[in-house]
Amino acid sequence: MDKVTVIYPVYNRSHLLKKALIALNHQSFIPQEVVLSDDGSEEDIVAAVREISDKIKFEIKYIHQQDKGFRLARCRNNGVRIASGNYLIFLDQDIIYTKHFIRTYVKNRKRGFFLVAWPIRLTREETNRVDLDMIESGEFDSIITKNQIKLIKDQFFKEKLYHYLKRLHLRKIGPKLRGGVFSIYKDDFALVNGFDEGYQGWGYEDDDLGHRLNRAGIKGMNPFYSEYSLHLYHEPFHVDGERVNEAYHLERKKMIRRGDYRCKYGLDNPIEDDKITEMKLK
- List per-residue pLDDT tens for the chain, 282 residues long: 899 999 999 999 999 999 999 999 999 999 999 999 999 999 999 999 999 999 999 999 999 999 999 999 999 999 999 999 999 999 999 999 999 999 999 999 999 999 999 999 999 999 999 999 999 999 999 999 999 999 999 999 999 999 999 989 899 899 999 999 999 999 999 999 999 999 998 889 999 999 999 999 999 999 999 999 999 998 764 444 567 888 999 999 999 999 999 999 999 999 988 889 998 997
The reported pLDDT for the residue numbered 282 is 78
Domain boundaries, given as residue ranges, for the chain: 4-271
DSSP label at residue 83? -
The reported pLDDT for the residue numbered 1 is 84
DSSP label at residue 179? T
CATH code 3.40.1410.10 for 4-271: no
Closest CA to 119 of 89, 94, 138, 142: 94
- pTM score: 0.95
* SS3 of residue 88 by DSSP: strand
Alpha helices (H) in 40-98, listed in sequence order: 45-50, 72-82
CB atoms within 10 A of CB 66: 14
For the chain, the distance separating the N- and C-terminal CA atoms, rounded to the nearest angstrom, is 22
The reported pLDDT for the residue numbered 242 is 64
Closest CA to 173 of 113, 118, 205, 219: 219
